[in-house]
Amino acid sequence: MIITKKALPRRTFLKGIQATLALPLLDAMIPAATALAQTPAKAVRRLGYVFVPMGCDHGRWTPEGQGALGQLTPCLSPLEPLKDQLTVVTNMELQNSYPGTHDTSNSGFLSAAFAKHTESSDYRLGTTADQLAAQQIGGDAPLRSLELSMDLNPLAGVCNNGYACVYQNSLSWSSPTTPLPSEAHPRLVFERLFGEGGTPAQRRTALRDRASLLDSFSDDIARLKGTVGVGDRARVDQYLDSIREVERQIQQAEVGASKNPMPDLDRPVGVPEMFADHAKLLFDLQLLAFQGDITRVVTFQLTRELSNRTYPEIGVPDPHHPTSHHGNDPEKVLKIAKINTFHVSLWSDFLQRLKATPEGDGNLLDNTVYMYGSGMGNPSLHDHVNLPILVAGGAATGMKGGQHIRYHEGTPLANLHLTLLDRVGVRLDTFGDSDSKVETLFDAVAL
């Protein structure tokens, strides 16, 4: 990389041996004509989705009333530090996901489309909201989108109720017939974000043959820091420290896996043993991908439908899926609430890290809209009404936050998708079975 006194291009990379380091947004990247005015560099807009399976305990999830958020419910309590940037949306429905199944809960979440009932490869769904966003706002990023998951699920063929497994395995579809695979292994995600040149095996060897990815960039980093201001140097240092920490966690997980004589067959080899550690690492990789503008669209299956994962660390040693068929058993319902709260707490921790990461004249959370939720409402009934849906971030898009929007029963979830797409710059007349937009989510600001 050649560094001059002129403003740096936003798309500036450092090139190493079979590796590339994207840079965070720096004030030095503003146009030279505005440099004297010290105008902060302009941030891009981003869109993220987190999917959780098997609905929720509505009694401990849904806030009372509507309008301004008061005291958060037990399941949402981890989001208290972010309440002013949080919107709870109640009574959303996935009408096209009936008859109610785990397969169509997953497939409908981002598509709001009807899944063709088939056990073969002639599956058909619809282009998902994330991929419509990727087509328009992800075009000049190195990765148009990033698809992540927590669980290893190599199954093919039929998984449940005569539906092809692809409906459970893939949240993202780039066309009605093209499901996109997700990646659960942090090492492979890291290589995808920062690897450059050669085969995957060559990139893996290059990354593992040095103590840190950053080793091959030390001279360029020093030259860069010598040409930018104090604020930019701090941003670069924070970004590099985050990369080092993610690398350290990946290496630590791989060492632990090599010493484990009985690996968990449901988890990829080399991921952290604890669920929360694995989730945090994948959330950290999302943060790095956004901070370096490597991608602007992310989907994350925090767990999968039909998951039999247990959560002894929070007092739920029972498998999730059987417990979700609670039949109004108070003990089982309480366990579902504990799982809901745990999952929300992981997302909240991530959102707080986004908020703590400066970007332009705000922070990463200001410039990112995240939707969190499930394609199922009451898991014991396998219904697709009153879905647990949250939206956070997006202050730069005019999102109000601090509110509970209670719509009439049966309002299409597609309305929310259409609205979020619009606010990040994707203009559509309709999406799925939408019939309007959720305008009360946002202030009237210019986009």
What is the DSSP code string of 175-221?
ETTEE---B--HHHHHHHHHB-SS-HHHHHHHHHTSS-GGGGGHHHH
pLDDT at 368: 96
Residue 316 near residue 328 (C-beta atoms within 8 A): no
The tens digit of pLDDT for each residue in 354-412 reads 999 999 889 999 999 999 999 999 999 999 999 999 999 999 988 889 999 999 999 99
The tens digit of pLDDT for each residue in 285-301 reads 999 999 999 999 999 99
* Chain mean pLDDT for the chain: 86
Structural domains for the chain = 1-42+188-270 (no CATH), 46-184+297-441 (3.40.720)
Share of the chain above pLDDT 90, in %: 60
The tens digit of pLDDT for each residue in 264-275 reads 444 455 678 899
The tens digit of pLDDT for each residue in 66-121 reads 999 999 999 999 999 999 999 999 999 999 999 889 999 999 999 999 999 998 88
The tens digit of pLDDT for each residue in 125-181 reads 999 999 999 999 987 889 999 999 998 665 555 677 789 989 999 999 999 999 999
Question: What are the residues facing 178 on neighbouring strands?
Answer: 175
Where does residue 345 rank: exposed (0-12), middle (13-18), buried (19+ CB within 10 A)? middle
Between the alpha carbon of residue 347 and those of residues 98, 261, 292, 375, 433, the distances in Å are 28, 32, 20, 17, 28
Residue 41 near residue 360 (C-beta atoms within 8 A): yes
Structure tokens at 193: 């974000």
Structure tokens at 56: 């929720």
The rounded distance, in Å, linking the Cα atoms of 44 and 367 is: 7
Residue appearing with tokens 């409402």 = 377
User: What pLDDT band is residue 64 in, cutting at 50, 70 and 90?
Assistant: very high
Run of H or E including 258 = helix 230-258
* Interior/surface letters 323-340, b for 16+ CB within 10 angstroms, e for the rest: bbebeeeeebbbbbbbbb
Share of the chain above pLDDT 70, in %: 84
Residue appearing with tokens 């380091």 = 21
User: What pLDDT band is residue 215 in, cutting at 50, 70 and 90?
Assistant: confident
User: What pLDDT band is residue 258 in, cutting at 50, 70 and 90?
Assistant: low
Three-state DSSP state, 1: coil
Structure tokens at 6: 């002129």
Q: How far is CA 384 from the centre of its chain?
A: 22
Residue 125 near residue 116 (C-beta atoms within 8 A): yes
Run of H or E including 392 = strand 389-393
Residues 6+ apart with CB under 8 A from 160: 101, 102, 103, 168, 306
